[in-house]
Every structure is written in structure tokens, then in C-alpha cells.
Amino acid sequence: NAGVTQTPKFQVLKTGQSMTLQCAQDMNHEYMSWYRQDPGMGLRLIHYSVGAGITDQGEVPNGYNVSRSTTEDFPLRLLSAAPSQTSVYFCATSVAGTPGQDTQYFGPGTRLTVL
């Protein structure tokens, strides 16, 4: 049981390049989400999914796309990387439903630098 895995751990991009950050979970959780962590700002929600085939925007969705074709995977795509997207990206999963039991489990993060 690997929990939540993210790849790659580190990535350097040039402005304008595209890439996909991978997130996978083996806990059969319905909810998956992507956050970015910037110094002094806590975590901000980018996109989330409440189940396969269903995605929605979070607080800071611009410049990112997501899809959820399976329960296990929730990739985050940067279409044309910008220096403002330099950040640490965390994927999180949780079980839907009962309040207090919908604990979010976080992956180890991907550190992205855009030059």
C-alpha cells in the first residue's frame, strides 16, 4: 500500500514548456486534489475531483488543466509554464462523506522551478 505517490520529485522547466505532474493513489479514495505551496502563503487549491470523470476548479486554476479518467490517477498539466508557477505542488486524497473521517492524505510533493 503506497498511499499517495507523486512524480517527479523535482523538475526544472523553461518558460513556455508544458509538462504533466503525476499523482496516483491506491487507497480507493474518491476525492483527489492539487495544491500549490508558496512561501508565506500556505496551501492553495488548484483543482479537485470528487470522482472519476468529475473535476472542478479550486482557488487558483489558471494555467493548469486536470483530468480524472480513473479513480487512481489525477494528473496536473501545465500548458505553458510561467515563472509564477514556480512552487511546490501537493496532491491530496480523501474519502468522501462522513465529517471528520474525510481526512486528507498528502503526497510527498513535486518541486517545480520555471526559468
Partner 1 sequence: GEDVEQSLFLSVREGDSSVINCTYTDSSSTYLYWYKQEPGAGLQLLTYIFSNMDMKQDQRLTVLLNKKDKHLSLRIADTQTGDSAIYFCAERLKFSGGYNKLIFGAGTRLAVHP
Q: Which residues bind partner 1 (CB under 8 A)?
A: 4, 31, 33, 35, 40-45, 48, 50, 54, 56, 58, 90, 92, 94, 96, 99-100, 102-109
* DSSP 3-state of 83: helix
Checking DSSP bridges between strand 76-78 and strand 19-25, what pairing results, if any? antiparallel
Q: Which is nearer to partner 1, 79 or 96 (CB)?
A: 96
Helix and strand numbers (H, E) in the chain are 0, 11
Q: Which is nearer to partner 1, 14 or 39 (CB)?
A: 39
Q: Considering only CA atoms, which of 59, 54, 34, 48 is closest in space to residue 112? A: 34
Which residues partner with 73 through β-bridges?
Answer: 24
Q: Which residue has the cell 494528473?
A: 75
Q: Which is nearer to partner 1, 19 or 43 (CB)?
A: 43
CB of 82 to partner 1, least distance (A): 23
Q: Which is nearer to partner 1, 26 or 102 (CB)?
A: 102
CB of 16 to partner 1, least distance (A): 29
